[in-house]
Structure 1
Amino acid sequence: MVVASVSGASAFSTDRAAWLNYLQEQRRAQRQQTPTTASLHGGMEAETGRVMPRGVLPAKPVPHLTSPAPSGAAAAPRTATRASLQIDPKFLPADVSYSGGYAPGTIVIDTEEKYLYHVGPGGTARRYGVGVGRPGFQWSGTHRVSMKREWPGWTPPEQMRKRQPDLPAYMEGGPNNPLGARAMYLGSTLYRIHGSNAPWTIGHEVSSGCIRMRNEDVIELYQNVDVGTKVVVLR
């Protein structure tokens, strides 16, 4: 009986130890699984099992943004900007001192120096480089801006078409039009202050008498000039 009692107690102790070991293994397994299966303190789970602090959201991926390609009129200023690297920096716009004696608001064009001055107050002016008439097409005089046009169409004069038979009778406005982004017409003449699809010609004698500017420069001037503005062309 004593032997039997000892054997039963030993068996019970063995079974109890095994059961306790089983429970401990289960608890350890639950603790290991907790970070990946439940939120702690109201946090947000990450896929890796890391817990985000309360109230902090994971960063959203930033989509790759592609700007739409400019077309038509909008494309010209960018093209002109690239091409402007080919012109002498002295022909880029600048605010300068000016003592020419003309009233503020007057446009003065020095065809010898290839500069256009938009006279400001207090002996100042905004200066732009320009392309001017080539030999045989140079002129001087005083006119007023009679009309303004954005992305103007172009009708080549008959005499020009005789010299260049490949010219069209009419060309729609746009980045390929030689009048460029803006045009300011001078009196009743055929001359204009206008933009250009060939900005590298700024600073040279290249036109048939018109005053050409970079597109970005003529846009700036256009915004600050009204119909009726006095324009003085010097030689």
Structure 2
Amino acid sequence: MNRRDFVLTGLATFGAALVGGPAMAQQLPPHLQPAFVTLRHSLPPGEVHVFPDHFQLFWTMPNGQAWRYGIRVGREGLYEPGQYYVGAKKEWPSWTPTPDMISREPEKYAQYSDGMPGGPDNPLGARALYLFQEGRGDTYLRIHGTPDINTIGRAVSNGCAGLTNEHIKLLYEQVPMDARVVLYPKMV
């Protein structure tokens, strides 16, 4: 299968998922629901771009188009803008809070210091893209799923970008290893 066929197959699959999508997608406002859009400013295809002030993530396609997803982002002081790459991908990933998370909120995270297996109640959700940087390796930042749709469109996480579990499953299939990821600074 060539790249064009792969992209078209992905578009058809994604479109079908939206048409018959879960009730969860219907609860999000239109600007946070997945959509195939034309970008105002063309970006290189095959990249993830996160715009935290709009709570939107874009997976860029050729000809100035992209898939747009609604997301949640890191709360004040925890969002880390920069350029990354996808260094690992996992389905139903296990999760362990970072030492900083445990230090900030021991009452919430200390009980998970040995980790939590993957599953529907896991904070990383159904899929996760692990963000790495050259010379730094794993940054402990993720683009991942969440079972809590009410957090989409809010700055509530410990620095990661989160999509609904249904939407991360779609994005996960689209984004290859080593794809470039840009987390833009918050402007507001």
Shorter-chain TM range is 0.7 to 0.9
Give TM-score, length-normalised by structure 2: 0.78
Choose from 46, 59, 69 the match for 1:118.
Answer: 59
Corresponding position: 1:171 with 2:121? no
SS at match of 2:100: helix
Structure 1 alignment gaps of length 5 or more? 1-79
What's the CA shift for 1:205? Answer: 0.5
Report if aligned partners of 2:91, 2:128 keep a CA contact under 8 Å in 1.
Answer: yes
CA–CA separation in structure 2 for the residues paired with 1:180 and 1:89: 23
CA–CA separation in structure 2 for the residues paired with 1:218 and 1:186: 15
Corresponding position: 1:212 with 2:153? no
CA–CA separation in structure 2 for the residues paired with 1:195 and 1:94: 18
Give TM-score, length-normalised by structure 1: 0.63
Report if aligned partners of 2:146, 2:162 keep a CA contact under 8 Å in 1.
Answer: yes
- Give the alignment of 1:65-84 within 5 angstroms: 81-84=22-25
Larger radius of gyration, structure 1 or 2? 1
- Give the alignment of 1:36-51 within 5 angstroms: none
Q: Kindly tell me: are residues 83 and 101 of structure 1, through their superposed partners in 2, closer, same or farther at Cα, counting changes over 3 Å?
A: closer
What's the CA shift for 1:81? Answer: 4.0
2:182 corresponding residue in structure 1: 232
Report if aligned partners of 1:86, 1:200 keep a CA contact under 8 Å in 2.
Answer: no
SS at match of 2:49: strand
CA–CA separation in structure 2 for the residues paired with 1:82 and 1:152: 24
SS at match of 1:90: helix
2:171 corresponding residue in structure 1: 221
What's the CA shift for 1:86? Answer: 4.0
CA–CA separation in structure 1 for the residues paired with 2:128 and 2:169: 9
Corresponding position: 1:156 with 2:97? yes
What's the CA shift for 1:132? Answer: 0.5
Provide the identity percentage: 40
What's the CA shift for 1:195? Answer: 0.2
Choose from 109, 126, 144 the match for 1:181.
Answer: 126
Structure 2 alignment gaps of length 5 or more? 1-20, 133-137
Choose from 116, 141, 145 the match for 1:191.
Answer: 141
Matched residue pairs, number?
156
Q: Which has the higher contact order (CA 8 A, sep 6+)?
A: 2
